[in-house]
Amino acid sequence: MIAPVELSQAYRLLNHGPTVLVTAAHGGRRNVMAAAWSMPLDFAPPKVAVVLDKSTFTRGLVEASGAFALNLPCRAIADATLAVGNVSAKDPEHADKFSEFGLGAFAGSALDLPLVEGCVGWLECRLVPEPHNQQAYDLFIGEVVAAHADTRVFGRGRWHFERADDSLRTLHYVAGGRFLAIGEALDADVERASRAPRLA
Contact between 74 and 120 under an 8 Å Cβ cutoff? The reply is yes
Look at phi and psi of residue 142 and say left if phi exceeds 0, alpha if psi is from -120 to 50, else beta: beta
Distance CA 177, CA 81 (A): 10
Asked if 188 interacts with a copy of itself (CB under 8 A), we say yes
Half-sphere exposure for 69 (CA within 13 Å, toward CB)? 31
- Considering only 8, 15, 135, 151, the residue that binds a copy of itself (CB under 8 A) is 15
Q: Identify the three-state secondary structure at position 87.
A: coil
Asked if 95 interacts with a copy of itself (CB under 8 A), we say no
Asked if 44 interacts with a copy of itself (CB under 8 A), we say no
Asked if 41 interacts with a copy of itself (CB under 8 A), we say yes
- Considering only 24, 81, 120, 146, the residue that binds a copy of itself (CB under 8 A) is 81
Q: How many CB atoms lie within 10 A of CB 72?
A: 25
Asked if 129 interacts with a copy of itself (CB under 8 A), we say no
Asked if 16 interacts with a copy of itself (CB under 8 A), we say yes
Asked if 45 interacts with a copy of itself (CB under 8 A), we say no
Asked if 88 interacts with a copy of itself (CB under 8 A), we say no
Asked if 12 interacts with a copy of itself (CB under 8 A), we say yes
Contact between 106 and 146 under an 8 Å Cβ cutoff? The reply is no
Contact between 160 and 99 under an 8 Å Cβ cutoff? The reply is no
Interface residue list for a copy of itself (CB under 8 A): 12, 15-19, 36-42, 47, 49, 51, 75, 78-83, 86, 98-104, 132-133, 137-139, 141, 157-159, 161, 169, 172-190, 192-194, 196-200
